[in-house]
């Protein structure tokens, strides 16, 4: 945003000063105001390139700018030629804007409509910058008797620049506003330690996810780290935090983008798993449990966890399924920990236990 702000402020200042000058005054200030134009146009390229994960080649930009400034100096202080100065400046600005186009074009394509409009608007601005030197070469009147800032072509180009700038900044403000809202929502919905969904986000998203799904059943897995208080007491809270992050990584590694992985609170996690059967969910939980054992704590201790697993057929069953899975988790804890306990469903064995 700093680069894009500079892209508006610097050229706007140069245009405002030039609009009040005669041709003779334009020659006297051409190098100084040229710096404002050149840096401003490169700033917009750099800002857009950074949004796309790239760069607008600052070393190449510096070289283009130096060559342009030398040309501006020569054709203002040695040979006064306004038409050539305009061509030099506009060709240099077009090249500077073009430096960001490669990063924008190669950048990750977004599905967001406004982001696509922003990228497209920038590429249109690049095209306009490339066309403008041709218009200057053909249409701008030459001769010392013609005051540039009073010519119809100057006013027409100012109007075109204004319309493009207003359109571009309007799209940019919309995109920025949406990004701020999405960032705030992300901070609200994510657990700050594990970056999993938090309780609030789970109860917002889970019913919607279940209702919209057309692929198989849903299973609810509640996972609780065994002896977590002991880990905190003996190894410290920093080690406890690292354990929670390790648990989050294992759960994410064994789920898909259609599933939900949540830190419900403390050392308790929930996975809303899209699956074909209770047996499938139990196999997934068992795989997670086995991978927890691969995590080594200090003093060579193994990380273990217990699971309660139930099947959900509708969003209305969510709260009751959580209560049932929590009771199964308590049963797993009571009968030795480090195991998966599932609820019986129709056509499947009752009281299924998948133990360590």
The catalytically annotated residue of 147, 179, 267, 348 is: 267
E strand residue ranges, 116-227: 217-225
Q: Which of 136, 144, 140, 137 is nearest to 27 (CA)?
A: 144
What burial class does residue 135 get, using C-beta atoms within 10 Å of its C-beta: 0-12 exposed, 13-18 middle, 19+ buried?
Answer: middle
SS3 for 119-133 is HHHHHHHHHHHHHHH
The residue behind tokens 């065994």 is 226
d(CA 264, CA 47): 39
Q: 102-116: string of b/e by CB count within 10 Å (b at 16+)? A: bbbeebeeeeeebbe
Q: 303-335: string of b/e by CB count within 10 Å (b at 16+)? A: bbbbbbbbbbeebebbeebbebbbebbeebbee
Q: 29-47: string of b/e by CB count within 10 Å (b at 16+)? A: ebbebbebbbbbbbbbbbb
Does the annotation count 294 as an active-site position? no
What's the angle, vertex CA 336, arms to CA 333 and CA 337, rounded to 5?
50
Biggest alpha carbon–alpha carbon distance for the chain: 99
Active site residues: 267
């Amino acid at each position: 945003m700093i680069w894009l702000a500079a892209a508006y402020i610097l050229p706007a200042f140069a245009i405002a000063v030039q609009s009040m000058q005669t041709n003779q005054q334009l020659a006297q200030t051409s190098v100084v105001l040229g710096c404002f134009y050149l840096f401003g146009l490169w700033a917009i390229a750099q800002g857009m390139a950074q949004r796309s994960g790239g760069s607008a080649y600052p070393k190449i930009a510096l070289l283009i700018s130096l060559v342009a400034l030398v040309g501006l100096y020569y054709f203002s202080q040695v040979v006064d030629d306004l038409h050539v100065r305009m061509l030099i400046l506009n060709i240099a600005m077009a090249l500077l804007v073009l430096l960001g186009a490669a990063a924008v074009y190669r950048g990750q394509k977004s599905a967001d409509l406004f982001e696509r409009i922003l990228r497209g608007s920038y590429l249109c601005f690049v095209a306009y910058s490339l066309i403008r030197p041709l218009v200057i070469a053909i249409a701008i009147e030459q001769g010392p008797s013609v005051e540039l800032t009073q010519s119809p072509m100057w006013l027409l180009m100012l109007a075109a620049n204004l319309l493009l700038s207003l359109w571009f900044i309007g799209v940019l403000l919309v995109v920025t506003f949406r990004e701020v809202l999405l960032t705030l929502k992300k901070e609200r919905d994510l657990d700050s330690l594990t970056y999993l969904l938090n309780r609030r986000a789970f109860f917002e998203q889970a019913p919607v996810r279940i209702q919209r799904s057309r692929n198989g059943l849903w299973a609810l897995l509640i996972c609780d780290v065994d002896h977590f208080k002991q880990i905190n007491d003996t190894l410290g809270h920093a080690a406890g935090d690292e354990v929670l992050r390790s648990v989050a990584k294992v759960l994410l590694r064994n789920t898909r983008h259609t599933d939900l992985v949540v830190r419900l609170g403390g050392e308790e996690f929930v996975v809303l798993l899209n699956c074909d059967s209770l047996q499938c969910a139990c196999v997934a939980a068992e795989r997670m449990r086995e991978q927890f054992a691969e995590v080594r704590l200090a003093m060579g201790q193994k990380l273990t966890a217990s699971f309660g697993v139930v099947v959900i057929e509708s969003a209305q069953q969510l709260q009751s399924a959580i209560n049932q899975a929590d009771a199964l988790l308590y049963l797993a804890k009571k009968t030795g920990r480090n195991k998966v306990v599932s609820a019986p469903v129709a056509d499947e064995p009752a009281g299924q236990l998948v133990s360590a």
